[in-house]
Amino acid sequence: MTRPIVHLDTSSLTDEQFAVVSELLDALGVEGEELSPHLGIPDELGQLLVFSTDSLGVLWDAMLATAGGAAAVKLTELLRRLPRRRNARGEQGRVVSVRDDQVAFVVSDAALADEAAMTAMRHVDTAALQPGTVLVWDPAARRWRGRE
Protein backbone atom coordinates (compact mmCIF):
# COMPACT_ATOMS: atom_id res chain seq x y z
CA MET A 1 0.00 0.00 0.00
CA THR A 2 1.30 3.45 -0.90
CA ARG A 3 1.64 5.73 2.07
CA PRO A 4 -0.22 9.04 1.75
CA ILE A 5 1.86 12.19 1.65
CA VAL A 6 1.28 15.06 4.05
CA HIS A 7 2.93 18.44 3.72
CA LEU A 8 4.39 19.87 6.92
CA ASP A 9 6.07 23.08 8.00
CA THR A 10 9.32 21.77 9.44
CA SER A 11 11.50 24.73 8.44
CA SER A 12 11.96 26.01 12.01
CA LEU A 13 12.55 22.62 13.65
CA THR A 14 15.92 21.59 14.98
CA ASP A 15 17.44 18.32 13.75
CA GLU A 16 16.30 16.62 16.96
CA GLN A 17 12.73 17.95 16.62
CA PHE A 18 12.67 16.92 12.95
CA ALA A 19 13.75 13.39 13.92
CA VAL A 20 10.86 13.12 16.39
CA VAL A 21 8.39 14.38 13.76
CA SER A 22 9.77 11.84 11.28
CA GLU A 23 9.29 9.04 13.81
CA LEU A 24 5.69 10.14 14.41
CA LEU A 25 4.99 10.22 10.67
CA ASP A 26 6.38 6.70 10.34
CA ALA A 27 4.28 5.53 13.31
CA LEU A 28 1.21 6.99 11.57
CA GLY A 29 1.98 5.31 8.24
CA VAL A 30 2.38 8.52 6.24
CA GLU A 31 5.18 10.24 4.32
CA GLY A 32 6.08 13.84 5.03
CA GLU A 33 7.22 16.50 2.60
CA GLU A 34 8.09 20.14 3.22
CA LEU A 35 5.09 22.44 3.02
CA SER A 36 4.77 24.67 -0.03
CA PRO A 37 3.60 28.23 0.60
CA HIS A 38 1.24 28.14 -2.38
CA LEU A 39 -1.51 25.70 -1.44
CA GLY A 40 -4.48 27.81 -2.47
CA ILE A 41 -5.74 28.83 0.94
CA PRO A 42 -6.51 32.40 2.06
CA ASP A 43 -3.55 34.41 3.38
CA GLU A 44 -4.97 34.72 6.90
CA LEU A 45 -5.02 30.92 7.16
CA GLY A 46 -1.77 30.53 5.29
CA GLN A 47 -0.07 32.36 8.15
CA LEU A 48 -1.12 29.49 10.44
CA LEU A 49 -0.70 26.59 7.99
CA VAL A 50 1.53 23.79 9.29
CA PHE A 51 -0.05 20.59 7.91
CA SER A 52 -1.78 19.80 4.64
CA THR A 53 -3.26 16.65 3.15
CA ASP A 54 -5.09 15.95 -0.08
CA SER A 55 -7.75 13.76 1.55
CA LEU A 56 -8.69 13.51 5.21
CA GLY A 57 -10.33 10.12 4.67
CA VAL A 58 -7.28 8.58 2.99
CA LEU A 59 -5.05 10.04 5.70
CA TRP A 60 -7.15 8.58 8.52
CA ASP A 61 -7.43 5.20 6.78
CA ALA A 62 -3.63 4.99 6.60
CA MET A 63 -3.12 6.22 10.16
CA LEU A 64 -5.65 3.76 11.57
CA ALA A 65 -4.19 0.87 9.57
CA THR A 66 -0.74 1.60 10.98
CA ALA A 67 -1.36 3.04 14.44
CA GLY A 68 -4.79 1.60 15.25
CA GLY A 69 -6.46 3.15 18.27
CA ALA A 70 -3.38 5.30 18.95
CA ALA A 71 -3.77 7.26 15.69
CA ALA A 72 -5.57 10.25 17.24
CA VAL A 73 -3.07 10.49 20.09
CA LYS A 74 -0.10 10.29 17.69
CA LEU A 75 -1.64 12.92 15.38
CA THR A 76 -2.13 15.21 18.37
CA GLU A 77 1.50 14.72 19.36
CA LEU A 78 2.64 15.41 15.79
CA LEU A 79 0.65 18.65 15.60
CA ARG A 80 1.99 19.76 19.00
CA ARG A 81 5.51 19.46 17.63
CA LEU A 82 4.80 21.70 14.63
CA PRO A 83 5.10 25.48 15.05
CA ARG A 84 2.19 27.40 16.58
CA ARG A 85 1.56 30.66 14.79
CA ARG A 86 -0.47 33.86 15.05
CA ASN A 87 -2.18 35.53 12.09
CA ALA A 88 -3.26 39.13 11.43
CA ARG A 89 -6.69 38.42 13.02
CA GLY A 90 -4.92 37.52 16.26
CA GLU A 91 -5.81 33.84 15.99
CA GLN A 92 -3.23 31.41 17.30
CA GLY A 93 -2.85 27.79 16.42
CA ARG A 94 -1.97 25.47 13.63
CA VAL A 95 -4.02 25.03 10.47
CA VAL A 96 -4.63 21.60 9.01
CA SER A 97 -5.67 21.96 5.37
CA VAL A 98 -7.66 19.38 3.40
CA ARG A 99 -6.88 20.39 -0.16
CA ASP A 100 -9.30 18.21 -2.13
CA ASP A 101 -12.30 19.62 -0.25
CA GLN A 102 -10.83 23.11 0.39
CA VAL A 103 -11.57 22.84 4.12
CA ALA A 104 -9.30 23.94 6.95
CA PHE A 105 -9.19 23.10 10.66
CA VAL A 106 -7.74 25.73 13.01
CA VAL A 107 -6.18 23.53 15.68
CA SER A 108 -5.94 25.61 18.83
CA ASP A 109 -4.19 24.72 22.07
CA ALA A 110 -7.65 23.83 23.44
CA ALA A 111 -8.07 21.27 20.64
CA LEU A 112 -4.66 19.77 21.35
CA ALA A 113 -5.52 19.52 25.05
CA ASP A 114 -8.79 17.66 24.40
CA GLU A 115 -8.43 13.95 23.58
CA ALA A 116 -11.70 14.05 21.67
CA ALA A 117 -10.63 16.69 19.13
CA MET A 118 -8.59 14.52 16.76
CA THR A 119 -11.05 11.64 17.01
CA ALA A 120 -13.84 14.08 16.17
CA MET A 121 -11.79 15.41 13.24
CA ARG A 122 -11.73 11.89 11.83
CA HIS A 123 -15.53 11.89 11.67
CA VAL A 124 -15.94 15.25 9.90
CA ASP A 125 -17.19 14.70 6.36
CA THR A 126 -15.18 17.45 4.68
CA ALA A 127 -16.64 16.55 1.26
CA ALA A 128 -20.08 17.58 2.53
CA LEU A 129 -18.88 21.06 3.53
CA GLN A 130 -18.76 24.15 1.34
CA PRO A 131 -15.32 24.85 -0.16
CA GLY A 132 -13.59 27.45 1.96
CA THR A 133 -15.12 26.24 5.23
CA VAL A 134 -12.92 26.88 8.26
CA LEU A 135 -13.56 24.72 11.31
CA VAL A 136 -12.59 25.47 14.90
CA TRP A 137 -12.76 23.23 17.97
CA ASP A 138 -15.64 24.01 20.34
CA PRO A 139 -14.46 22.67 23.71
CA ALA A 140 -17.87 23.06 25.37
CA ALA A 141 -19.68 21.05 22.68
CA ARG A 142 -16.59 18.87 22.03
CA ARG A 143 -17.01 19.12 18.27
CA TRP A 144 -15.63 20.97 15.25
CA ARG A 145 -17.85 23.88 14.12
CA GLY A 146 -17.70 26.48 11.39
CA ARG A 147 -15.74 29.60 12.30
CA GLU A 148 -17.80 32.74 12.55
Residue 95's closest CA among 79, 114, 78, 118? Answer: 79
CA distance 58 to 1: 12
pTM attached to this predicted model: 0.91
pLDDT tens digit sequence for 109-142? 999 999 899 999 999 999 999 999 999 999 999 9
Residues 6+ away with beta carbon under 8 Å from 65: 1, 29
Q: Report whether 63 contacts 30 (CB < 8 A).
A: yes
The secondary structure of residue 2, as a DSSP letter, is: P
The answer, yes or no, to whether residue 42 has pLDDT greater than 80, is no
CA distance 50 to 10: 8
Q: Give the burial string for 5-14 (b: 16+ CB within 10 Å, else e).
A: ebbbbbeebe
- Where residue 48 falls among pLDDT bands split at 50, 70, 90? confident
The answer, yes or no, to whether residue 38 has pLDDT greater than 70, is no
